[in-house]
Amino acid sequence: MQTPPNSLAALIQAVAFAADKHRNQRRKDAEASPYINHPIALANVLANEGGVQDVTVLCAAVLHDTIEDTETTADELRALFGDQVASVVLEVTDDKSLDKAVRKQLQIEHAPHISPQAQLVKLADKISNVRDILASPPADWSPERKQAYFDWAAAVVAGLRGVHPGLEEVFDGLYARRLGAG
Ligand code: NDP
Ligand code: ZN
């Protein structure tokens, strides 16, 4: 059943739904953290560092990897969370039938053209991932690979500029720390 759009109940339902969908997945850090920590981190960045109160954005942040990385369909999200949330999640979902290098290039090219709500989710995703690479990176990543990721993330964020200057500053602060990341 669809919860009232933009409600606190919808946000809690999104957290429960994402936790269930990602229940058997782990992040790539040495400790293999529970996957759900990452979608929750995005919502936390948006709400508590960015002051974002738009529940559609917070729900989409929590759900942002469900279509890409689990069996979840857009129809399922539409039925539970409504058209708007489903549409924002689709905007931040890569087409996995494409080669990884193409997908990464398309993220750079598409960033300026997606909705502001999707831009906020994407910005929070890049903040969360560069933060993870600084604090708890994938165990086997060389300094060069970390650097390549930082530079690609910065190229995506360049296309989002203006959507939220405060969060852009958070990203810039993390990017500036990359050289000490080793
Ligand atoms: P990957 O796409 O393989 O890994 C990064 C993604 O993993 C993130 O975007 C994030 O995605 C997810 N993730 C899970 N756990 C973590 C964590 N602890 N910290 C950060 N991210 C995590 O990386 P890339 O292919 O982008 O590699 C980075 C760069 O290195 C590239 O630019 C590439 O050119 C270069 N490179 C790539 C190689 C390869 O085999 N792919 C080999 C050598 C170099 P999400 O938010 O969706 O969970
Ligand atoms: Zn993500």
Would you say residue 144 has pLDDT above 80? yes
Sole residue written with tokens 């958070």: 170
What secondary structure, in 3-state letters, does the chain show?
CCCCCCCHHHHHHHHHHHHHHCCCCECCECCCCECCHHHHHHHHHHHHHCCCCCHHHHHHHHHCCHHHHCCCCHHHHHHHHHHHHHHHHHHCCCCCCCCHHHHHHHHHHHHHHCCHHHHHHHHHHHHHHHHHHHHCCECCCCHHHHHHHHHHHHHHHHCCCCCCHHHHHHHHHHHHCHHHCC
**In this predicted structure, what is the pLDDT of residue 6?**
78
User: Is the model's pLDDT at 181 over the cut of 60?
Assistant: no
Average pLDDT over residues 128-136: 98
Look at residue 179 in the predicted model and tell me its pLDDT.
Answer: 77
Is the confidence at residue 1, as pLDDT, over 90? no
What residue's CA is closest to ligand 1, atom 38?
145
CATH 1.10.3210.10 fits domain 8-180: yes
Please state the rounded mean pLDDT for residues 84-89: 98
> Who lines ligand 1 at CB under 6 A?
27-29, 38, 65, 100, 125, 129, 132-133, 136-138, 145, 148-149, 152
Instruction: Indicate which residues carry an active-site annotation.
Output: 68-69
Residue 43 pLDDT level (bands cut at 50, 70, 90): very high
State percent of the chain over pLDDT 90: 93
| Rounded distance from Cα 144 to ligand 2 centre (Å) | 21
Ligand nearest to the CA of 68: 1
Query: For residues 141 and 148, is the Cβ–Cβ distance under 8 A?
Result: no
pLDDT value of residue 4: 79
- Say which ligand is closest to the CA of 33: 1
- Tokens (6 digits) for 77: 């999200």
Q: How far, CA to CA in Å, does 154 sit from each of 86, 114, 120, 160, 176?
A: 26, 17, 15, 10, 11
CA of 53 to the centre of ligand 1 (A): 29
Ligand 1 atom nearest 130 alpha carbon: 20
Query: 17 or 178, which is more confident?
Result: 17
pLDDT value of residue 182? 45
Put simply, whether the predicted model's pTM sits higher than 0.75 gets the answer yes
Q: What is the pLDDT of residue 172?
A: 98
